Every structure is written in structure tokens, then in C-alpha cells.
Amino acid sequence: MTSRTSQELAELEREAVEAIEAADSLPRLLEARSQVLGRKGTITESLRGIGAADPADRARLGRELNLAKQRIEARFADRRAALEAGARERELREHRLDVTLPGTGLRSGHLHPVTQLEREMVAFFTGLGFSIEDGPQVETDYNNFEALNFPPDHPARDMQDTFYVEGGNLLRTHTSPVQIRAMQRLEPPFRFVVTGRVYRHDFGPRSSPMFHQIEGVMVDERTSFGDLKGILYAFARQLFGARVDLRFRASYFPFTEPSAEFDVTCPNCAGAGCGTCSQSGWIEWGGCGMVHPRVLENCQIDAERYQGFAFGMGIDRAAMIRFGLPSIHVLFEPDARILEQI
């Protein structure tokens, strides 16, 4: 191969630059570059041919070729940048979505309000070291009533209208039979909560034959009624806000002595009195008291040494307060529009 003259080189460079400038797309530009600087490109081959050139001419040729190569690479880089910028601009111009179309998101699932409240409640008590106990919903008369100090043929039994099942057992009317099951097994001191479904033979605008309770028990040597109040205050404020107040009214439950019912400040009117609370400023929430010594004795616990408190309240009721539900029946109505919103 003969070495090229300066003039030939200039011509070569001019053609290459023309081709680069003429390329209107990145593939064409790459093609144009490889014609010159590729493995078999004109400049590449010329560089490769330097060895065969006239030794006197080699230095000049080498210098001119390298300068030309650098200039072409620079033009190439400029052109490439221009093309890429153009392509991005075009892409930005052309990718136009109707962003008001709905997203392709999945349907969102939902936990039942009773589940939500139950978890919140249980989390509060497990955080205070209460374990979780569980028991059957179909119970014996003994566990549901007798062991809890409801004597047979006693009007206390009228407090809880009962569903009986064939064979003489019953649907538990409260979660308290689990107290009996747990306390027969546990050695004091202990504390636990129980949650679950309970049943009352009662169907009306304000009552459902099935509803949910949470119940807690703590037994130790000196656990007092004051402690019970303290726990319930903390609990109510966790659930309904720091401003709610409680009031404890003397009451009667066969399985606690002393017994109390407790009301929580009506969250709707903050205690001022409204339709939700029948103008009283309070909403009835649950029952509590000190575990009756006879109940402890029925569970083989030394009632002279140990004492403790028990409390129970409706989870459904808490859900109604939280979500402002007009009726308990809303909770058990499987309408997707209801289930999705609360």
C-alpha cells in the first residue's frame, strides 16, 4: 500500500466528516464512524499501513493521520450528543399519557372493624405483660355460670339471656368461662386477656345475638381496685384519646366483689351531652370488679393470699364508638360498601 498524500488525507477526512454530519440517526452515525474508524475503516487501515510507508514520510503521515482521527472523533462525539439530545427531546415530546386514567392498582383488602379494634386492644394488654387465653364458645353451664358464682335458680341468671344447645350445654354468654379454664390451670401471680364471640338470646334494634368481648384478669397478692381503675384509665385513653374520662358506678356481677360498671366520656360531644349518649355525656362501656373469692376458690386459688381484678367490655361497642356506627347490626352486614370504608 502506498502512503497517502496530505491532500488525500484531507479528502478522506472531509468525506468522513460529511458522512458524520449527514447521519440522522444513531445507527447511521455509528455506521458512518465505523466506515472511517472501524476495524476496516479508512483511517484505521491507513494507520495500519504506516509501517509500509516511506520511512521519511512516516512521521508526517503518522502525525497527520492521528490529528485527523482526533478531529473526526471529536466531530463524531458532537454529532452523537446532538442526536441523543434530539432523540430524548422527541421521546419527551411524544410520551404523553392521560394521567387521569385510573392506576392499575390491586384491589385493597380490609380487616373488619371488630378485628381492628380487637388487635388494638390486645396489643395494649400484651404490652403490659398480659398473656392471651382462649376457650370454646359452646360451654358447660358450670364454666359459664356456676363456677362464676351464678347459683342455679338465681335471678342473676336473668342478666344474661342464654342460648342452650342440645345436650344441656350453652353458647357462652360472656368470655368469663375462659377465666375459669385459665385460672384452673395457672398458678398466681398471672394476668391475661381473653377475646372472642359471645351470645345472648336477644335480638333488637340495639342488640345482636352474637357480639364480641374482651376481658382481662390480673391476680396477685395486692392487686387492688385502684389498680383496676388505673389500668382502665390508661386503656380508655389509648383507645379513645387522652382527654376521655371514665366513671365507675357501683354494680353487681356474681363473679366480682366489689363490682362496678364503667362509662367513658361520650366522644361525640366530649361529655357535653348529645343524642348518642342520651344527653348524659357518658357511654356505658363495660363491667369490672375484684375477682370474687368464691371464683378463686372454685379454681383452687388461695383467696386469702391472692386477690385481683377482672374487667370486660364490648369490642363491637368500641368499634361503634370509634367509627360512629348507628347500630351494631352494621357490623354484621356483609355489604362490600360498608366493609371497604371502616
Partner 1 sequence: MRLSLQWLAEWIPLEIPPEALAERLTMGGIEVDAIERSGADLSAFRVGHVLEREAHPNADRLSVCRVDTGEGEPVRVVCGASNVAAGQKVAFAGDGTRLPDGTAIKRSKIRGVVSNGMICSEVELGIGADASGILVLDDAAPVGAALSDVIGSGDVALELSLTPNRGDCASVLGIAREVRAHFGGALCVPETAPREGARAAKDDVRIEIEEPADCHRYAARVVHGVRVGPSPDWLARRLESIGLRPINNVVDVTNLVLFEFGQPTHAFDLATLRGATVRVRAAREGEKLLTLDQEDRELDPDDLVIADAERAIALAGVMGGAETEVRAGTTSVLIESAHFAPARVRRSARRHGLMTEASYRFERGVDRAGVARAADRVARLVAELAGGEVCAGLVEATGAPAETVEEIQLDAERVNRVLGTAIADAEIQALLSRLDIQHRRARGGGDAYRIPTHRNDLARPEDLVEEVGRIYGYDRIPTTLPVAPLGPVHAPPLRAVAEQTRDAFRAAGLLECMMLPFLRSDDLDRLGIGGEDPRRRTVAIANPVLEDEARMESTLVPGLLRAVHRNQTRQIDAVQLFNLSRVFFARGGSTLPEERVAVSAVITRGERVAWYEAQDDRPAPFFQAKGVVERVLRDLSRPAEFAPEWAEPYHHPGASSAVRVEGARVGSVGELHPDVAARFDLEVPCALLELDLSALAAQGAPRTAYAEVSRQPQSSRDLAVLLDRETPAGDVLAAIQQTGGTQLVRTDLFDCYEGTGVPSGKKSLAFRLVFQRHDRTLVEAEVNRLVDRVVKMLGHRFDGELRNAPRREE
Q: Interaction with partner 1 in 55-114: which residues (CB under 8 A)? A: 101-102, 104, 106-112, 114
- If one asks whether residue 337 binds partner 1 (CB under 8 A), the answer comes out as yes
Residues 221-250 that bind partner 1 (CB under 8 A): 222-227, 229-231, 233-234, 247-250
At CB < 8 A and 24+ separation, what contacts does 251-254 make? 251/287, 251/289, 252/156, 253/159, 253/287, 253/289, 254/148, 254/149, 254/150, 254/151, 254/154, 254/156, 254/292
Out of 32, 65, 147, 171, name the contact with partner 1 by CB under 8 A.
171
Measured CA angle at 145 (ends 143, 151), to 5 deg: 130
Position 159 contacts partner 1 (CB under 8 A): yes
Asked whether the beta carbons of 277 and 306 are under 8 A apart, the reply is no
Contact status: 317 vs partner 1 (CB under 8 A): no
User: Of residues 292-311, which lie at the interface with partner 1 (CB under 8 A)?
Assistant: 292-294, 307
Is residue 273 close enough to count as binding partner 1 by CB under 8 A? no
What's the closest the beta carbon of residue 165 comes to partner 1, in angstroms?
5
Report residue 24 as a C-alpha cell.
440522522
Judged by CB under 8 A, does residue 136 bind partner 1?
yes
Q: Which of 35, 44, 169, 276 binds partner 1 (CB under 8 A)?
A: 169
Among 115, 185, 243, 305, binds partner 1 (CB under 8 A): 115
> Which of 39, 56, 94, 152 touches partner 1 by CB under 8 A?
152
Residue from 210, 269, 270, 325 that binds partner 1 (CB under 8 A)? 210
Answer yes or no whether residue 208 interacts with partner 1 by CB under 8 A: yes
What own/partner pairs with CB < 8 Å and gap ≥ 24 does 24-29 have? 24/83, 25/83, 26/80, 26/83, 26/84, 26/87, 29/76, 29/79, 29/80, 29/83
